[in-house]
Chain A
Amino acid sequence: MTELNKTVRPVPLWLHLWAIVTVLVTLALLVLGQFVTSFRAGMADPIWPTEPWYLFVVGWQEPNRGYLIEHSHRIAGWLVGGFVAILALGLWNTEPIKFVRRFGLLLLVALLAVYGQFHRELIAQRDPSVPVHIPLVPLAAMGLALVGILGLALSDSRGRALRLLGVGALVAVMIQGLLGGFRVRLDALFGPELAPIHGVFAQVVFCLLVSLAVLTGTPVATDLPERSRLLSRQSLTLVALLFVQLIWGAMVRHTPNAINQRLHLLTAFLAVALTVWLLRTGFSLPMARPRIAVAGRMLGVLIALQVALGVEAWMGKFGEEARGGRPASSYLAEAAPVTARQAEMRTAHTLVGTGVLAAALVLFIRIRQRPMIARDNPSDRDVIWDRQFAPEPALALALPTEPRP
């Protein structure tokens, strides 16, 4: 293997493994979140925020099943926040410039501390003697810390994109936590309308974490040929289409109406068709096949499963069995009690949808990923983003002659 083909890890191995574990923990959080929606337990406890240990100190006459599901979701949220915080700090620690590294770590820790203070001030407002207000000071401090971090992240050092992604994931998790909390706290103002926004943004967060897990792994060894440009466009379009499908799915779940139900069904056809086309294109390209094999197969299996689960979830929400013998004229899906089986089907459909989107995203990243080369003296802190490469002679005619920037 030539030096130019030799690749190194962009980050230390432990960080890559931590990113994978974070994705798995987040998946568990998503499961609980979907149960909260499926069982309509979003307002089982109207008090927010609560301390992470709240469930363990509350009186035992409180926890019915919905209460337990909702608070388990909150605890998992705190856990994911912790995992993502460590991930973001670990990624920042790979910054090669010492001053930027240290100051950035300080700002990240400050950001987390002020976020905690923001929560503490909101918790204090549970006391009726404390007036309800927006804690502006911690909010401003968070903004300043974030501006500082972004300024540092834009410094011209290797690996800045990955560090930015790590900070972005941390901020996204913070926003997601607040969205969930305000869904409860502002229920009197917005009703359940913040719930689908919280649900959709959860997918954004999950996608960011999946991206981190992939990008912190071993990079690809070779580049794809020019004619894989179609594959690249197909994969990007599929990710976008699946995200839109997910939005419509969230609306069907929370506020179904004739328009979003139709859109969700029609887009499902489009998504399946595009997936088949994409996989056919990808598996027909010899150089692309090994790169997309795992994610591609997973995408194929999941999307087939998703269609089947979608049918079951639909029938359980809108079909005759959902009405339980009641006439259609007096049936309103959002007002009907949810059985365990209905909740399981809806939760499974939503989670597999998350898996489909994640698989498509991994596929897209793997298709678009460029090979990396080793530095002369690689070290643990080196993050390699150089894109110059020397192709194998057999592929030279198919490749651009000028080095890419």
Chain B
Amino acid sequence: MPAAWRTWRGWIPSAVFAALVCVFSGCDSAPSYPPTLEFPQRSDRLVLRVPTAQPANLGEAGRLDAELGALDSLGGLTLDPATVSAERRTTIAQFLESFGSPASPVVPHEAAERLGLTADRLAEGSRLFRRLCLQCHGLSGDGRGPTGQWIYPHPRDFRRGAFKFVSTGDGGKPKQSDLARTIREGLKGAGMPAFTSRSEEERGVLAAFVTYLSIRGQLEFQLLASAEDEDDADIKAFARDRLDRLMMDWTRAESVPEVAAPDVPDDETRQSPEHLAKVRRGFELFMAKGITDCATCHEDFGRKNSFRYDVWGTVVRPADLTTGSFKGGNRSEDLFHRIRGGIQPVGMPAHPTLTDAQVWDLVWFVRALPYPRELPDDVRKQVYP
């Protein structure tokens, strides 16, 4: 037997043992949260009303709480949960216990199953959320994960119950498929990555868990915000009523029919007189004051900086439509939903009175906007003087 083998063979069992210990001590691909872990009580400010004055600048990464703290002095209204009485907060916390824990999330409502928010799916979603989303979106979906301080725009706070890129109309909750699509595609220009490498089932359970965090978080928001208005004795009945309404909103969203998008015209069709006429009509609608008022916010087609507050109290700017990159997706049906239903959390109005044909004209105009040669001559001269 070679001398080297005689020398080293004694190490083999130790090396194997050490390797096994290493494997079992930390290499679980998606561990659950500790079973005793509870959701923290909300301690950050609630934004009840944003200032009406236009902000001067965009915000900065890592300064979310400082920016929200300054809203009161700018004409907004915020609420520090610490100012709510301890008894009220305890009552709210006791009610929220019915939502389970991060390891065992539950939606305590009969409509939960219809929405696919079953305990199994939520538990699976919770494990994936911890692995993939916690670092930015935080334990309770507050957008304050440890990596979130380096991201701008700030990671989304799900607890407001507001979502920007929905297909369900003005101010509506998203469908589960809307959330899954955002998870799959990511958000261009933001720190939200595209999770195309995850399976459809995984994205589905993640969407379900995000829905759970939103329901729980929004309920907590409403209970804290109404603390001055409701008596302790009524708070639980109030909470049940609010939960019923939330579940009704989420259920209603699922029943909104899908939009049938026409085929995207090819290069040749986009130069045809018929298509250019649609683009021209879209331009005229875009500029029409009192009808769409698109140009009021998207000044100079979005090229001009124009800031405003969103419902979360952070600063946003209307999209620069000449870049061709849209956070909510570049598909025709994405643009259709943005125009038809608006983006309520940032103040983009819905346009329910426009016909479908009018909305599609706007869609073709917005799609053509980044490409001067796809605009009619007269329109091009006004967009790119």
* Residues in chain A within 8 A of chain B (CB atoms): 39-44, 46, 61, 64-67, 70, 186-189, 191-193, 196, 240, 244, 247-248, 251, 254-255, 257, 259-260, 263, 326-327, 329-332, 334-338
Additional pairs, 9, CB under 8 Å, beyond known A43-B147, A64-B62, A188-B195: A40-B146, A40-B149, A188-B197, A192-B131, A196-B26, A254-B26, A263-B21, A332-B34, A335-B134
A-B pairs under 8 A by CB, number: 112
A332 to B37, Cβ gap below 8 A?
yes
A66 CA / B147 CA spacing, docked (Å):
9
B125 at the binding interface (Cβ < 8 Å): no
Residue of B nearest to A248 (CB): B25
Interfacial residues of chain B within 131-188, with CB under 8 A of chain A in the complex = 131-132, 134-136, 138-139, 144-147, 149-152
- 3 tightest Cβ-Cβ pairs between the two chains A and B: A66-B150, A251-B26, A40-B146
A66 CA / B148 CA spacing, docked (Å):
10
B197 to A338, Cβ gap below 8 A?
no
Q: List 12 A-B contacts (CB under 8 A).
A: A66-B149, A188-B197, A191-B132, A248-B26, A251-B26, A255-B28, A263-B21, A327-B38, A329-B37, A332-B34, A335-B138, A337-B146
Instruction: Report chain A residues within 8 Å CB of B18.
Output: 240, 244
Residue of A nearest to B151 (CB): A44
| Distance of A37 from chain B, by nearest CB (Å) | 11
A192 CA / B30 CA spacing, docked (Å):
11
Instruction: Report chain B residues within 8 Å CB of A192.
Output: 131, 135
B22, B31, B139, B191: the one within 8 Å of A257 (CB): B31
Residue of A nearest to B137 (CB): A335
B53 at the binding interface (Cβ < 8 Å): no
Residue of B nearest to A264 (CB): B25
A61, A70, A188, A254: the one within 8 Å of B193 (CB): A188
B150 to A67, Cβ gap below 8 A?
yes
A164 CA / B25 CA spacing, docked (Å):
34
A64 CA / B63 CA spacing, docked (Å):
11
Residue of B nearest to A188 (CB): B195
Residue of A nearest to B131 (CB): A191
B21, B24, B135, B193: the one within 8 Å of A40 (CB): B135
A193 CA / B132 CA spacing, docked (Å):
10
Instruction: Report chain B residues within 8 Å CB of A254.
Output: 26
A335 CA / B150 CA spacing, docked (Å):
14
A330-B39 contact, Cβ under 8 Å, with A46-B191, A66-B61, A259-B26: yes
A335 CA / B131 CA spacing, docked (Å):
11
Interfacial residues of chain B within 178-230, with CB under 8 A of chain A in the complex = 191, 193-198
B197 to A189, Cβ gap below 8 A?
yes
A189 to B198, Cβ gap below 8 A?
yes
A44, A193, A260, A330: the one within 8 Å of B147 (CB): A44
| Distance of A62 from chain B, by nearest CB (Å) | 9
B36 at the binding interface (Cβ < 8 Å): yes
Instruction: Report chain B residues within 8 Å CB of A193.
Output: 29, 131
B147 to A42, Cβ gap below 8 A?
yes
Instruction: Report chain B residues within 8 Å CB of A247.
Output: 22
B91 at the binding interface (Cβ < 8 Å): no
Residue of A nearest to B330 (CB): A128
B273 at the binding interface (Cβ < 8 Å): no
Main secondary structure of the interface of A (DSSP, over half): helix
Instruction: Report chain A residues within 8 Å CB of B41.
Output: 330
A341 CA / B151 CA spacing, docked (Å):
21
Contact with A along B1-42 (1 / 0, CB 8 A): 000000000000000001001101110111101101111110
| Distance of A247 from chain B, by nearest CB (Å) | 5
A64 to B147, Cβ gap below 8 A?
no
Instruction: Report chain B residues within 8 Å CB of A326.
Output: 40
Instruction: Report chain B residues within 8 Å CB of A331.
Output: 40
| Distance of B5 from chain A, by nearest CB (Å) | 16
A334 CA / B31 CA spacing, docked (Å):
13
Residue of A nearest to B128 (CB): A191
Which of B26, B40, B41, B136 has most chain A Cβ within 10 Å?
Answer: B26
Residue of B nearest to A325 (CB): B43
A332-B139 contact, Cβ under 8 Å, with A188-B195, A260-B26: yes
A330 to B26, Cβ gap below 8 A?
no
B147 to A40, Cβ gap below 8 A?
yes
B60 at the binding interface (Cβ < 8 Å): yes
A188-B196 contact, Cβ under 8 Å, with A330-B38, A330-B40, A332-B139: yes
| Distance of B26 from chain A, by nearest CB (Å) | 4
Residue of B nearest to A46 (CB): B193
| Distance of B362 from chain A, by nearest CB (Å) | 24
A188, A196, A336: the one within 8 Å of B198 (CB): A188
| Distance of A195 from chain B, by nearest CB (Å) | 10
A188-B132 contact, Cβ under 8 Å, with A66-B61, A248-B25, A330-B38: yes
Instruction: Report chain A residues within 8 Å CB of B149.
Output: 40, 66, 337
A65, A188, A259, A327: the one within 8 Å of B25 (CB): A259
| Distance of A188 from chain B, by nearest CB (Å) | 4
A127 CA / B339 CA spacing, docked (Å):
28
B31 to A255, Cβ gap below 8 A?
yes
A336 to B146, Cβ gap below 8 A?
yes
A66 CA / B135 CA spacing, docked (Å):
14
A329-B36 contact, Cβ under 8 Å, with A66-B150, A255-B31: yes
A334-B150 contact, Cβ under 8 Å, with A189-B197, A192-B135, A329-B37: no
Instruction: Report chain A residues within 8 Å CB of B25.
Output: 248, 251, 257, 259-260, 263
A188, A191, A334: the one within 8 Å of B146 (CB): A334
A331 CA / B21 CA spacing, docked (Å):
27
A395 CA / B38 CA spacing, docked (Å):
69
B150 to A64, Cβ gap below 8 A?
yes
A381 CA / B21 CA spacing, docked (Å):
46
Instruction: Report chain A residues within 8 Å CB of B22.
Output: 244, 247-248
Instruction: Report chain B residues within 8 Å CB of A332.
Output: 33-34, 37, 102, 139
